[in-house]
Copies of this chain bind each other. A is one copy, B any other.
Amino acid sequence: MSKTQPRYVVGDIWDERIVMGHGSGGRKMHRLIARVFLKHFGNPVLRRLEDGARIGVKGRRLVMSTDSYVVQPLFFPGGDIGKLAVCGTVNDIAVMGAAPEHLSVGFIVREGVELDLIEKLCRSIGRTAKQAGVKVVAGDTKVIEKGDDEGVYINTTGIGTVRTRVKLGPEQVKAGDAILLNGSIGDHEAAVAVARGVFRFRARLASDCAPLAGLIQKLVSGPGVKMMRDPTRGGLATTLNEIAEATGLGLVLHEELVPISPAVRGVAELLGLEPLYMANEGKVIVVASPEAEKRLTKEMHKHVYGRKACRVGEVVAEPKGVWLRTAIGSLRRLIMLEGQQLPRIC
């Protein structure tokens, strides 16, 4: 099996039933979106398939984004489902160039869950929201019967305002642009895997789960950024594929430039996971003009969530798609995640 491909490649098959892979962020989910959601909800805003929706409300440029969180276990090194639910949605808004401002929180909780646990999660949500600069303005709670998991699902939906004049979007990207990343990959998925207790050892691992709105607002305060995406479910390789599809260009990733911690490498090796497809919750891919590359990287280094920022590749006219330039110099195609790696990762 190729080291850089996910484990379950199933080809372009249209499933008859929902499988775990439909929630993985990869190809199955993209097919579901294209064949069902766009068919019935289709409109120009949704069709852009971005992390959030650009909506104009009487002249104001707003961004709206929604995500549900079903991660197991609810608590893991570096975070919990509450912190994750704020970061994930806030980051989706931030990568659209908007400052997140308002957040709704919808709980689905199983009967029998301790109220102390709900309070712990609310404390985490409140703290993270404060750090991210968003206010929780609307909420909802539904209760379902006891079941087989820890029984807390959270939906957060956020609204932000576009404050920058920098034009962001796939149409801004050109061959020669640099691909920057604010740090190491795979930490979130590795931390959740370890928290499931599959190993006897305790790895030195923590999820990278963090609200990136502050960092990103600094990056877009001046020119240079062309487009951003956060590589969550499906990992760096899948999100780069989304960028390649949206821009119609090619992306070359340099294997030796991608920061991966030894602990993540170890967990990945043991579980047969590929770090390039592992989920992140505090990472942003920044496509930038070559002139702005140095300034933006320096700017990121100043921020607590960008200490290890670096260039990991570049945009090319040909070949189309996403390619990994390996340490020995060969080019290997990186496709979108098929199936899944770990289920219920966010």
Q: How far is the CB of A309 from chain B (nearest CB, A)?
A: 28
List the B side residues contacting A58 at CB < 8 Å.
60, 161
Check A299 for interface membership: any CB of B closer than 8 A: no
Q: A66-B105, A66-B140, A135-B45 are in contact. Are A37 and B157 (CB under 8 A)?
A: no
| Residue of B whose beta carbon sits closest to that of A32 | B141
A145 to B19, CA, bound (A): 9
A31-47 interface mask toward B, CB cutoff 8 Å, 1 = contact, 0 = none? 01100110111010110
Check A270 for interface membership: any CB of B closer than 8 A: no
A161 to B155, CA, bound (A): 23
Check A255 for interface membership: any CB of B closer than 8 A: no
Q: How far is the CB of A8 from chain B (nearest CB, A)?
A: 14
A19 in complex: contacting residue of B40, B111, B135, CB < 8 Å: B111
Give 13 new A-B contacts, CB below 8 A, not counting A18-B111, A144-B149.
A14-B115, A23-B143, A32-B118, A32-B141, A33-B139, A36-B118, A52-B138, A55-B102, A57-B62, A65-B104, A68-B106, A68-B140, A68-B142
Q: How far is the CB of A339 from chain B (nearest CB, A)?
A: 12
A64 in complex: contacting residue of B102, B112, B113, CB < 8 Å: B102
Q: How far is the CB of A69 from chain B (nearest CB, A)?
A: 7
A346 to B144, CA, bound (A): 11
Indicate if the CB atoms of B66 and A122 lie closer than 8 Å.
no
Chain B binder among A123-131, A243-251, A282-290, A300-308: A123-131
Q: How far is the CB of A117 from chain B (nearest CB, A)?
A: 9
Indicate if the CB atoms of B155 and A125 lie closer than 8 Å.
no
Q: Chain A contact residues (Cβ within 8 angstroms of B): what range?
A: 35 or more
Check A70 for interface membership: any CB of B closer than 8 A: yes
Check A263 for interface membership: any CB of B closer than 8 A: no
Check A159 for interface membership: any CB of B closer than 8 A: yes
A17 in complex: contacting residue of B17, B114, B137, CB < 8 Å: B114
Check A229 for interface membership: any CB of B closer than 8 A: no
List the B side residues contacting A125 at CB < 8 Å.
40-41
Check A147 for interface membership: any CB of B closer than 8 A: yes
Check A76 for interface membership: any CB of B closer than 8 A: no
A102 to B153, CA, bound (A): 23
Check A20 for interface membership: any CB of B closer than 8 A: yes
Indicate if the CB atoms of A155 and B68 lie closer than 8 Å.
yes
Indicate if the CB atoms of A118 and B66 lie closer than 8 Å.
no
List the B side residues contacting A155 at CB < 8 Å.
66, 68, 106, 140, 155, 157
List the B side residues contacting A346 at CB < 8 Å.
142
Indicate if the CB atoms of A142 and B23 lie closer than 8 Å.
yes
**Nearest 8 pairs of A and B residues by beta carbon:** A23-B143, A66-B104, A157-B157, A53-B137, A40-B126, A155-B155, A41-B136, A40-B122
Indicate if the CB atoms of A45 and B137 lie closer than 8 Å.
yes
List the B side residues contacting A126 at CB < 8 Å.
40-41
Check A343 for interface membership: any CB of B closer than 8 A: yes
Check A325 for interface membership: any CB of B closer than 8 A: no
Q: How far is the CB of A150 from chain B (nearest CB, A)?
A: 11
